[in-house]
Amino acid sequence: MRKHSFVLLTALLFGAAPASAQAPLDLPQPSPAASVSQRVGLTDITITYHRPAVNKRQVWGQLVPYGQVWRAGANENTVITFSTPVTVGGHPLPSGSYGLHMIPTDHDWTIIFNKESRAWGSFFYDQKDDALRITVTPRPVEFQERLSYTLDAADDTGAVATLRWAAMAVPFEIKVDTPQVVAESLRAQLHGLPGFAWQSNAQAAAWCARHDVALDDAQMWADKAVKLQENFTTLNARALVAEKKNDATTAGELRAKALTVATEADMNNYGYTLLQSGKTDEALKVFRQNVEKHPDSWNTYDSLGEGLATAGNKADAITNYRKARSMVKDETNQRRIDGILKGLEGTQ
């Protein structure tokens, strides 16, 4: 009896161990995981998915049947995430994560953004959870063995998400109202520690003025910045807002006042801002004022020379660059100005 008990115990111990000790191993998957992300302004767009291979199969219409909801990848949900509200195919979509599904056909496709993003593929898909459906037109492309997603043509206004697999590409356009997103972000940020600093309030006001958004908030922030510290930057921010609100008189008065308290660096930076905005005559006026206020600075002549060269006035540009060259001490800027003079004098 004891012998049989020992044999039975041994069998239980050694026979049961493999079954009870099984655990998933980390091995390469037939359809490896992947993700692609893109920031648009302050909005993050991310697609996470798995990449099946063609593997000598007929994909469209066979492996992926036409007219049926497809998980737009392999394994669990393909998921697309937006950190802020967006517009997809011309339709608004709130921020969040969505299960991405598609209904392929031999013509137009349906792209589905479903509120359930944690399911396995499309097996548990329920149309009642759809947040948005759009229709797009696929296009033929060069053959690609593994499925992939890209976020192309990205700028501050949006990007184009594209599924590519086999010889087919399926693009859909994502748009972001970046000025509104930034304005909302600034409101939140300025309720925190940055709200105590004149620099943050002035920067927020100037950004909104330049992008013509949230001008009432911009006015409040500019006023607060000036109250915290009246200087060139805060006065100029107020001027920008006044200009956007079509108050040219106030804008002009504020800019004039700002220039009276501006440092050499303030005026130099302001001049370049005007120059880069195509306001060459205004930039030259500021550069000349800087030379008058700081005649002992080689950099003021250097900047005036650049402005004059941009305006096509080579003779006066050469005069100012020569003046800067006679004053500058460091070899790097000496060589830089020598190169500029050589170019200008060679084209006269």
d(CA 317, CA 20): 84
Any idea what the Cα angle at residue 194 is, between residues 189 and 199, rounded to 5°? 120
With a cut of 50, say whether residue 197 has pLDDT above it.
yes
Q: What are the pLDDT digits (tens) for 311-322?
A: 999 999 999 999
Answer yes or no: are the C-beta atoms of 77 and 48 closer than 8 Å: no
Answer yes or no: are the C-beta atoms of 166 and 57 closer than 8 Å: no
Q: What number of H helices and E strands is found in the chain?
A: 11, 10
Answer yes or no: are the C-beta atoms of 69 and 91 closer than 8 Å: no
d(CA 34, CA 47): 8
The confidence score (pLDDT) of residue 18 equals 52
Q: What are the pLDDT digits (tens) for 199-252?
A: 999 999 999 999 999 999 999 999 999 999 999 999 999 999 999 999 999 999
- CB-based contacts of 194-202 (< 8 A; 24+ apart in sequence): 197/228, 198/224, 198/225, 198/226, 198/228, 198/229, 198/231, 198/233, 198/234, 199/225, 199/233, 201/225, 201/228, 201/234, 201/237, 202/233, 202/234, 202/237
With a cut of 60, say whether residue 9 has pLDDT above it.
no
Question: For 255-262, what is the mean pLDDT?
Answer: 94
Structure token digits, residue 41? 């302004």
| Domains, the chain, ordered by start | 33-176 (no CATH), 179-346 (1.25.40.10)
With a cut of 50, say whether residue 7 has pLDDT above it.
no
The confidence score (pLDDT) of residue 6 equals 43
**pLDDT band at residue 26 using 50, 70 and 90 as cut-offs:** confident
With a cut of 60, say whether residue 11 has pLDDT above it.
no
Q: What are the pLDDT digits (tens) for 293-306?
A: 999 999 999 999 99
Beta bridge partner(s), residue 114: 99, 130
Looking up tokens 């972000």 gives 185
d(CA 94, CA 109): 22
With a cut of 50, say whether residue 10 has pLDDT above it.
no
Closest of 302, 347, 348, 308 to residue 325, by C-alpha: 302
Percent of the chain with pLDDT over 90: 88
Q: What are the pLDDT digits (tens) for 81-98?
A: 999 999 999 999 999 999
User: Does residue 166 come out as left (phi exceeding 0), alpha (psi in the -120 to 50 range) or beta?
Assistant: left
207: DSSP letter: H
